[in-house]
Amino acid sequence: MNPYLAGIGLGLVLLTAFVVMGRGLGASGALSSFVTLGVNAVAPAHAQSNAFYEEYLGTPNGNPLNDWLVYEIAGVLIGGLISGLIAGRVRRTVDKGARITVSTRMIYAFGGGILIGLGSKIARGCTSGQALTGGALLSVGSWFFMIAVFASAYAVAYLFNRQWT
Amino acid sequence: MNAPFYQFGLFGNDTALLFAVVIGIGFGFFLEQAGFGSSVKLAQQFYLRDLTVFKVMFTAIVTAMLGLFWLSWLGLVDLSLVRVLPTYLVPQLIGGLVFGVGFVMGGYCPGTCCVAAVTGKMDGWIHLAGMFAGIFLFGELLPLIGNWYSSTPMGEITLSQIFNLSHGTMVLLIVLAALAGFYGADKLEGRSRST
């Protein structure tokens, strides 16, 4: 799809969330609920004494999955699958440039994932909750987050060029 | 019209969760349509070879921002009831720097990673596992860095407030900046295609 059309579509979805719910989109928050579910299952006393997990345990029935963002991310998976099926893009593959091996790509994917998880928690949100949502609401922290993301990604991009070509 | 509907109690929690799924479907659909189920496509942004990430992100921000501005100007949405996240300047800057390295290293952000995983990208699944590990790491670190994490609080502050401009002027400036950015992005792409 034309990027500007996709952007307008995404923007209208975000606007709908504002008008219907009074809140925006999110992604990393839902993942935190799953992590909390895991920690609480293995070590409930530990989870309940930690301010971070405690927040995600604070749903009406104490189940971290009973949360708005968890339902939203379930929708993201459905919507992504629908679009992928329509476009004929659903198949088992590893997305990478031709010059690196699958195992190198997987190491980078895992390492990048760790940093994304860590960074989005330190910043209190990711590209969905901060950049898109906070960006549209003119939140100062969200705009600084966005600028920092692009600045550091450009600064270290040369280290990973081989992975993507 | 009394919007945001949920804040005015037009429906309850169960219906809100149903809306969450519907809104999520739209979100995931357009992310995938934009081509964001592919880490290679996303990463090109950081080499200025394909600026789709910039174009989609800023078109979305401008669309939602303008829509909200007009609806509030018409008196249809009470902006004070739309939740603005509070700013913690230093942690958000540092978090952004860490996030940026992760983005160009792993190729995905949390939302796009979900779309990649569900359309069969194995690197998307591994990235997802990495994010769980990173969030767990943060949870375990929080007791040690809690004071720093809550430092430089600025409250629910907006760009119009710090620049001392009216909401409408700030919105207009961002629209103009985005239009200039789109023009520049198309130019840059044209150049990298011809070389």
| pLDDT one-digit tens code per residue, A48-99 | 999 999 999 988 788 899 999 999 999 999 999 999 999 999 999 999 998 9
Cβ separation A163–B43 shorter than 8 A: yes
Cβ separation A10–B27 shorter than 8 A: yes
pLDDT bin (cut points 50, 70, 90) of residue B144 is very high
B105 in the same domain as B178? yes
Yes or no: say if B128 and A106 are a contact pair by the CB < 8 Å rule: no
Per-residue exposure over A17-28, b if at least 16 CB sit within 10 Å of its own CB, e if not: bbbbbbbbbbbb
Q: What is the spatial distance between Cα B23 and Cα B136, in angstroms, rounded to a whole number?
A: 27
Token duo for residue B191: 């150049």
| pLDDT one-digit tens code per residue, A104-115 | 999 999 999 999
Determine if the peptide bond prior to B4 is cis (ω within 30°).
Answer: yes
DSSP string computed for A45-107 = HHHHTSHHHHHHH-STTS-TTSSHHHHHHHHHHHHHHHHHHHHT----B----TTS-HHHHHH
pLDDT at B195: 52
Closest CA to B37 of B47, B46, B28: B28
B102 in the same domain as B89? yes
Which chain A residues in 101-140 lie under 8 Å from chain B, judged by CB atoms?
105-106, 108-140
Report the complex ipTM. Answer: 0.96
| pLDDT one-digit tens code per residue, A21-42 | 999 999 999 999 999 999 999 9
B109 in the same domain as B27? no
Yes or no: say if B111 and A10 are a contact pair by the CB < 8 Å rule: no
pTM of the shown model: 0.96
Q: What is the spatial distance between Cα A7 and Cα B30, in angstroms, rounded to a whole number?
A: 8
Closest residue of A to B80, CA-based? A22
B73 in the same domain as B6? no
B42 in the same domain as B66? yes
pLDDT at B193: 67
Residue A59: CB atoms within 10 A of its CB come to: 16
pLDDT at A60: 79
Range of the domain at B63: 38-194
Cβ separation A117–B134 shorter than 8 A: yes
